[in-house]
Amino acid sequence: MSKIFKYLILLFTIFFINANLQATDGYSYKMKTIGKHDGEVLGVFVNWNNSMFASCSVDETIKLWKLPEGKEVCTLHGHLGEVNNISFSGNDKWLASASTDQTVKIWDVASCKEIETLEGHTDMVIGCYFSQDSASTFVASTSFDKTVKLWDVRLGTEIKTLHGHTASINNVAYSYDGKYLASCSDDKTIKIWSTDLTTKTPIMTLTGHNAPVLTVIFSFDSKKIASSDQNGEIIIWSMPEGKMIRRIKGHTELVQDVSFADDNIRLVSGSLDKTIKLWDTDTGNLLFSFDTGNEVWSVDLVADASIITFGCEDGTVRMLIRQQEKAPKKPVKGGKK
C-alpha cells in the first residue's frame, strides 16, 4: 500500500513539474503573465537591443514593456480599430503599427507619442515591418486590399505599391540585408519583392503551402525564410534561391506567428492549438514545446532565447523565462529584429 502511495506521489510530482517547467534537450522555461490587454494580443515584437518589447491588441492599443522584468512602460492610444501588427525600427527609435482602421501609424518610442499616420490602403492593414537599417527610412505594410505598400517615413508618404497577390495579404517582412520584402497571402503563396523603388513586379513566387499563409519572416543572415499557414504547417525556404528546405507539421491549429533566433537556426512558433514550440530549422527537430493553456496569437524571442514573449487570446501578455542555463553552442540574439 505504501509503495503504491509513494508511486502516486512520484507521479504527481512529475506531473506538477512537467506542467510548470517543460523541458526538452535542456530547454526549461517557466511561464509568467506580465499584463493584460482587453482582447486578443495580435502581435508582440522585441526591439533590437532587447531592452523592450511591444504588444498590440484588438482593444485598439499598443503597450510597451521593459525587458527583462516585463514592466509596462506605457499604452499607446490612437488607432480606431484592432491593431493587427507592430514592428520596431532598426534603430529602436520608432514603432510602426498596422490596423483595421486602414492606417499605419508611426510612434516615437521614447515619448510614447504618435508621430504620423500613413493613409492609402483601401482595406484593413494586417502586416507592417520597419526597414532594419540604422536610418529606418521605410515601412512596408500589407492589407486585405491585396497590395503591399512601401512608405517613406520621413516624408510621411506612400512611395511604392506592389500588386501581384490574388487574395488578401496577411503579413510582410523586410530582409535584414535590406534587399527584399516577402509577403504572404490567402492565395497560399509567398512573393519576394525587390526593395528598390523602380521594380514593381515580384522577383519570385514561393509555392508549397496548402492553406492561406499567415506569416513570413527572414532569418538575420537573410539566407532563410520561415512561413506558417492556416493548417499549422511551417515551411523553411532558402534565400535567394527560394527553394523549399523543409516542411514542419508542428501544430494542430493555425500558426499565426513565428520568429527566428539570432543563430539563424532556431525558430519559435505560436499557435491557436495553445502551444509554443522551438524548432531546429536545420534538422526539423522539435527542441521545446510548452502548453500555455490559451490560444497563442503572437510570439517573439529576446537575446540568447532566455525569454520568449507571447500574446494570448484572453488578452494576457506573457513571458517564458528560461530556468536552466545550458551554455548554447554559440551566443545568440533573438527576435523579429
Of 221-240, binders to another protein (CB under 8 A) are 230
Number of chain positions touching another protein (CB under 8 A): 41
Q: Is 326 helix (H, G, I), strand (E, B) or coil?
A: coil
User: Residue 210 interacts with another protein (CB under 8 A)?
Assistant: no
Burial of 5 per CB tally in 10 Å (0-12, 13-18, 19+):
exposed
- 63/274 with CB nearer another protein: 274
Return the closest-CA partner of residue 288 out of 246, 323, 238, 333.
323
**Contact with another protein (CB under 8 A) among 54, 153, 206, 214:** 214
User: Residue 292 interacts with another protein (CB under 8 A)?
Assistant: no
**Contact with another protein (CB under 8 A) among 46, 226, 248, 254:** 254
User: Residue 249 interacts with another protein (CB under 8 A)?
Assistant: no
- 55/264 with CB nearer another protein: 55
Asked if 172 and 142 touch (Cβ cutoff 8 Å), the reply is yes
User: Residue 84 interacts with another protein (CB under 8 A)?
Assistant: yes
Peptide bond into 202 cis (omega under 30): no
CB of 200 to another protein, least distance (A): 9
Of 3-42, binders to another protein (CB under 8 A) are 42
CB of 213 to another protein, least distance (A): 10
User: Residue 100 interacts with another protein (CB under 8 A)?
Assistant: yes
**Contact with another protein (CB under 8 A) among 47, 87, 141, 147:** 147
**Contact with another protein (CB under 8 A) among 13, 20, 51, 122:** 122
User: Residue 160 interacts with another protein (CB under 8 A)?
Assistant: yes
Residue 48 vs residues 37, 77, 159, 264, 281: alpha-carbon distances, Å: 24, 23, 26, 15, 22
CB of 296 to another protein, least distance (A): 12
User: Residue 248 interacts with another protein (CB under 8 A)?
Assistant: no
Return the closest-CA partner of residue 120 out of 137, 101, 97.
101
Of 295-314, binders to another protein (CB under 8 A) are 297
- Which cell numbers in the block locate residue 176? 535584414
User: Residue 126 interacts with another protein (CB under 8 A)?
Assistant: yes
Burial of 18 per CB tally in 10 Å (0-12, 13-18, 19+):
exposed
Site track 57-76 with another protein (rule: CB under 8 A), x = hit:
-x------------------
- CA angle in degrees (0–180, nearest 5) for 154-95-238: 95
Helices within 97-253 (DSSP H only): none
**Contact with another protein (CB under 8 A) among 159, 283, 323, 331:** 159
CB of 114 to another protein, least distance (A): 14
Is the Cα torsion angle 232, 61, 302, 188 positive or negative in sign?
Answer: positive
- Which cell numbers in the block locate residue 103? 492606417
Q: Which residues contact 200 (CB under 8 A, 6 or more apart)?
A: 160, 161, 162, 163
How many other C-beta atoms are found inside a 10 Å radius of the C-beta of residue 61? 19
- 84/306 with CB nearer another protein: 84
User: Residue 81 interacts with another protein (CB under 8 A)?
Assistant: yes
- Which cell numbers in the block locate residue 209? 503551402
User: Residue 294 interacts with another protein (CB under 8 A)?
Assistant: no
User: Residue 137 interacts with another protein (CB under 8 A)?
Assistant: no
CB of 133 to another protein, least distance (A): 19
Q: Which residue has the cell 502516486?
A: 8
Asked if 216 and 172 touch (Cβ cutoff 8 Å), the reply is yes
Binding positions for another protein, rule: CB under 8 A:
42, 58, 80-82, 84-85, 100-103, 120, 122-124, 126, 144-147, 149-150, 155-161, 163, 168, 170, 197, 212, 214, 230, 253-254, 256, 272, 297
